[in-house]
Structure 1
């Protein structure tokens, strides 16, 4: 039977999954210093001692999660060979869009015996969830590493990072040891924590810097060797993707995406080899795709704030002050059947975060005695792209 797919008989890819975000490499390249710091921070677990708390900082795509996954697998293998080490359990959760209660509920359910009823979604409070978490940890025993990816997106993170480290001294954890590993895209996350949390946490900090072009080229060459049919990816394509990504964000994920999309462009054109010209064609597709993903990664109300400013820009009302943004934001939130945040401070906090992440440009204004000093905000990306992305997320037309 003849189908419309019959023309697709050849492919440049030997294993396309190697160039996707979900791929976990067997070996981590160009992160030797960070891995060495990680090794040292985890060493106490091998001797049955309390684990250290660890915080990883760095922008998206710099290997924080990949290195953590690698280290957890290596540690579990090492613990199995160490008589002094307790049984080790690793619990990983992405905090993006999560409340503190949902996070605690996830951990409790991860610890419950197979036939036990799940911890309820509603009807109980955060205190109840903490108590159940401690109960389940004590029943299981051993050492537990709680890995919170995108921890800076978690609401009420101060409570989480204050309660968990203090649980042993408060008599809540008697038969289990717990270490917190936080992964944050925000280099200033620690400064946002209360002083009592910073004093309690006493964490090891590991900072992930941007990759340079040579480091990205090493990573891409390794991926390309497994991803492509032999002889179908030109070295110039790898060098181009590495150079463009290094010049932009120093982001491995961006470089890998450019190589994959470049190969897709080559296949669409019927070309037999990926070249630097294909990478150039792929650059804009990847840029738009990454911006859309970054918008999706923001919390619900941060997205409402972005949508608000995009709408104001379309009406030539930006840059504008946080008070006006709040007024229009309330209408946006209500239009999506969501209760808006009620305080100006909460909107200003979102604006500060979005500016720090590069979504917004902030202008320092001084109107003298009549108006005082204040900030005005506008998008640092295309308003149409923001609204297109929001439309996709909500599955409806945006006004």
Structure 2
């Protein structure tokens, strides 16, 4: 039930696996690997499918004497620049005694170190950059795929697999990076309830004793997962939480009541953890959207959120961020599942734009925003919801 568990077979992703296998075929052929870009929401199987296929690819490659394959996985969460990624990759390829500092070197020097390490390794190198949308500049996404063509390396073939939860990330890439990184694109849609039920049944057969879990519990967990953006991880976590609650009660079976209680506990914990990790401006953007939601002002465009955000920032004694940085905070809220986004296309006259809505329980969000509400003040839209239990100092 844990996130690092790798099942022997993946269900619900046959079409994506087929496309992925075709994109990886040049590796087995001994050719220059494709650069592959995967995108889709959190929990739809991008990373799981990648690890599953690459493990099988490594097994297949080991059967060929003249094929030397090296796999490198790097999660970009917490890495905001190409410099940081390049430094981390150099250290991935070096012994612990030869690690370099993450600061202090000119960028060109770090890249030279990286090319030297890759040439020393040789063979075919697939570098997986998970959550690549965290990186604010795309230099590394151009440098790595073009290293061989630009004569930076001669003994290594390099392929990039970029994985992103942010659908808009690709749109913000420079044209030269798009042409390099996005040679092969695979979109992972949300799982439906049927797919999630098959995934849960697969985990049930391994994780639970016979007879403690009925089909109704599986269906309920799958239905909630499908409702929550088709996130397999959420469905699996919900089933595990229901099992933990049943074990704590020393119950003989897991019931739908355990699922309901578990869902409430997980949702509260997820909201509190997500909001706790936001910056103060992230809190202000979320508070602005919440108050608009309570006044039936959503879905709403970012430009219409901005006046209220600006007012709240000034009340909190903070300088409002420029529109682009405010939109970055909205994107982070979307990624955390606190906010949903809808793409709109009004044709030539209206153009394409995004509208945002609150995607979580209002009371839970409010309880996690108590500090920013104390600082900014109680907006008229939340007066009826404010209680001594939520805001002790009100």
**Pairwise TM-score range, normalised by the shorter structure:** 0.7 to 0.9
Q: Are 2:140 and 1:140 equivalent residues in the alignment?
A: no
Structure 1 residues 244, 346: CA separation in 2 closer, same or farther (over 3 Å shift)?
A: closer
Are 1:322 and 2:306 matched, yes or no? Answer: yes
Change (3 A) 1:309 1:378: farther
The one of 76, 84, 89 aligned to 1:102: 84
Please give the residue correspondences for 1:124-273 in structure 2 after superposition, counting only pairs within 5 Å.
124-156=105-137, 158-273=138-253
1:73 lines up with 2:55 in the alignment: yes
In structure 2, relative to structure 1, the CA distance for the partners of 1:40 and 1:387 (3 Å cut) is same
TM-score of the aligned structures, taking structure 1 as reference length: 0.77
Rounded to whole Å, the distance in 2 between the matches of 1:71 and 1:375 is: 34
Counterpart for residue 381 of structure 2: none
Cα distance in 1, alignment partners of residues 340 and 189 from structure 2: 23
Offset at residue 252 of structure 1 (A): 1.1
* TM-superposition CA deviations, 1:111-160 (whole Å, max 9, x none): 114542x112211133222221111111111111110111111121x212
Q: Secondary structure at the match of 1:28?
A: coil
Q: In 2, distance between residues paired with 1:383 and 1:295?
A: 13
| Equivalent pair of 1:62/1:251 in contact (CA under 8 Å) | yes
For residues 295-332 of structure 1, the C-alpha deviation after alignment (integer angstroms, 9 at most, x for no partner) is: 57xxx7x6433212345579999976436636865998
Q: Distance in 2 between matches of 1:309 and 1:348?
A: 9
Name the residue aligned to 1:309.
285
Contact kept, 8 Å, 2:80 with 2:134, in 1: the verdict is no
Could you list the per-position Cα deviations for residues 315-355 of structure 1 after superposition, in whole angstroms to 9, with x for gaps in the alignment?
99997643663686599898xxxxx9964432334335645
**Alpha-carbon distance in structure 1 between the residues aligned to 2:244 and 2:209:** 14
Distance 1:324 1:147 in 2: 40
Cα distance in 1, alignment partners of residues 135 and 334 from structure 2: 18
Distance 1:312 1:321, change over 3 A: closer
Change (3 A) 1:241 1:345: closer
* Structure 2 unaligned residues grouped into runs of 5+: 298-303, 343-352, 376-394
Alpha-carbon shift at residue 81 of structure 1 (Å): 0.2
Superposed displacement of residue 48, structure 1: 1.7
Deviation at 1:387?
7.5
Q: Structure 1 stretches of 5 or more lacking a match?
A: 1-18, 335-339, 364-373
CA contact (8 A) 1:262 1:279 kept: yes
Superposition RMSD on alpha carbons, in Å? 3.5
- Name the residue aligned to 2:257: 277
Cα distance in structure 2, aligned partners of 1:381 and 1:112:
44
Give the one of 64, 71, 74 matched to 1:82. 64
User: Which of 46, 50, 55 is equivalent to 2:37?
Assistant: 55
SS in 1 for 2:129: strand
